[in-house]
Amino acid sequence: MGETITYKSPFDGFEVPAYHARPTDARRGGLLLIQEIFGITDHIRELADAFAEDGYETIAPAFYERLEPGFAADYSQEAIAKGVAYSQKTPWDQVAGDAQGAIDLLNPPAFVTGFCWGGAATWLAACRCDGLSAAAAFYGRRITELNAETPTVPTILHFGKTDASIPPERVEEIRAAHPDVPIYLYDAGHGFVSDRRADYHADSARLARLRTLAHFANNGGGKSSA
């Protein structure tokens, strides 16, 4: 369904490639979709296509392109280690700039969602980027690094109750600092939206998706946007 596009990042002028999926029916809005540590995988493309089917023109940038062009990892331990290393080598200021460049391509209303590392990057975009109407972050372990920053748009968070990488006390840190941000907990582990992961949980993935789409709809996502 989608195509590869490129755009210039406001951070440094780098030409960022991205997967771009257009709605096949009436447009509800635009969506920045932020990858996991694994890069622009088939899973991310499938998510983008699914959101496009729901009416959201979706852009999924390759945030690690400066480090390894075309990076798309499997779920082996070696791949996880590489993805973690790339996430640590990608500064938040650069992420915010790359995100802003993608948002600027989307006619409003524009939204953002992301998974794993992308969940924290979603929080970052909700705090720093202009032109967004709402955000939904999935199991963003590193949100606590950004806990001093506050989203400027309505934001919801999704976490798995049995996520070993995000213990309950870390979620409570976020809740204590941002009591007005809705946090949804699911009977699932980390990566529960991805059917490629051992922790995939279909019911939780479905419910989190419904809540995300409702959140976007309640904040400007409607039929026949420009």
Contact 11, 89 (CB under 8 A): no
Both tokens of 138, joined, read 């999935």
Q: What is the pLDDT of residues 142-200, one digit of tens each?
A: 999 999 999 999 999 999 999 999 999 999 999 999 999 999 999 999 999 998 888 89
Spell out the residues 6+ positions from residue 138 whose beta carbon is closer than 8 angstroms to its own: 113, 114, 115, 116, 118, 119, 122, 157, 158, 193, 208
- In percent, the amount of the chain with pLDDT more than 70 equals 98
Classify domain 3-218 by CATH number.
3.40.50.1820
This prediction's pTM? 0.96
Task: Estimate to the nearest angstrom the gap between the alpha carbon of 4 and the chain centroid.
Answer: 18
Positions marked active-site: 116, 163, 190
Q: What is the pLDDT of residues 40-58, one digit of tens each?
A: 999 999 999 999 999 999 9
Spell out the residues 6+ positions from residue 176 whose beta carbon is closer than 8 angstroms to its own: none
**Residue 39 gets which letter from DSSP?**
B
Both tokens of 185, joined, read 């907990």
Question: Which whole-number Å values give the CA distances from 206 to 18, 24, 90, in the listed order?
Answer: 25, 22, 31
- In percent, the amount of the chain with pLDDT more than 90 equals 90
Helix, strand or coil, per DSSP, at residue 135: strand
